[in-house]
Amino acid sequence: MSIIGDDAPPHGIERLGSARLATERTLPLDPVLADLLGVDGLVRGHTVACRGPAAHSLAVVAAAAAVAMGSWVAVVGVDGLGVEAMADAGLPPERLIRIRVAGDGARSWADLCLAALDGFEVLITCPPARVPAPVATAIRRRLRARGGCLLVVGDPRGLETDVELLSDGPSWRGVGAGTGRLDGRRVEVRATGRRVHRGRAASLSLPGSDGRLHGPETHHPVPLLAAV
């Protein structure tokens, strides 16, 4: 029986830390978004800004496939993300953690982001009003070192982004003058940014009536677990 005293180095913890370093270059990504961005997946180390009226929904669907395949997602300083909408979009809420940020201090927000990036592969955040350049650099370094992905809801402020998903021109279906009910939204989404080479724009159903993202041709994505 080995008794590990106080002074013994925590081998296990160190080994795990390095073993966790990304073995693959990308995290799983919804095929509709992958198509829009002209990539295979969410590239580790990248910062993706989701903007416009569908910013929240975009961030959630961008994270959903990775979380469904086992990644954990931390939401730092974003108030009131609807958990049910996330679950409907295919993001399993059992691997979702939310961290409240006290005040507007860039420092505490940055410390929380850095700590979260150590253990979470996906981070969804709203940066504070001003992100000083050294903070932005520290976050970028940690993202690269840990192989995580940062999804920004709204204005990225001082953060350098690799990809931007811009939403515009939303129109809701199913609701009239006191009739029907909201039954899904069409929204124009354009992929841009310095790491986007074959990006394009498309009219997406986000959310569709089932709460999920559907592409321009409304091809229903293949469920992760098809019936036997």
Which residues ranging from 59 to 88 are in contact with other proteins (CB under 8 A)?
60, 68-72, 74, 79-88
Tokens of 28: 């799983």
Tokens of 61: 């669907």
Could you give the string, one character per residue 207-226, with x where binding to other proteins holds by CB under 8 A and - elsewhere? xxxxx------------xx-
Site for other proteins in 122-161 (CB under 8 A): none
Interface with other proteins includes 96 (CB under 8 A)?
yes
Torsion of CA 148, 138, 157, 68, to 10 degrees: 10
As a whole number of angstroms, the distance between CA 67 and CA 74 comes to 10
Could you give the string, one character per residue 190-209, with x where binding to other proteins holds by CB under 8 A and - elsewhere? -----------------xxx
Torsion of CA 5, 9, 14, 15, to 10 degrees: -80
Q: Please choose, from the candidates 140, 101, 143, 137, the residue with its C-alpha nearest in 3D space to the C-alpha of residue 122.
A: 143
Q: Which is nearer to other proteins, 39 or 73 (CB)?
A: 73
Q: Which is nearer to other proteins, 72 or 140 (CB)?
A: 72
Give the range of 41-49, 126-134, 158-166, 183-191 binding other proteins by CB under 8 A: 183-191
Say if residues 82 and 107 touch (Cβ distance below 8 Å): no
Q: Which of 46, 56, 142, 214 binds other proteins (CB under 8 A)?
A: 56
Interface with other proteins includes 116 (CB under 8 A)?
yes
**Which amino acid appears at position 186 of this protein?**
R
First to last CA, the chain: 47
Q: How many residues bind other proteins (CB under 8 A)?
A: 82
What are the residues facing 74 on neighbouring strands? 97, 123
**Shortest gap between Cβ of 228 and other proteins (angstroms)?**
6
Interface with other proteins includes 111 (CB under 8 A)?
yes
Say if residues 49 and 24 touch (Cβ distance below 8 Å): no
Interface with other proteins includes 7 (CB under 8 A)?
no
Q: Which is nearer to other proteins, 108 or 195 (CB)?
A: 108
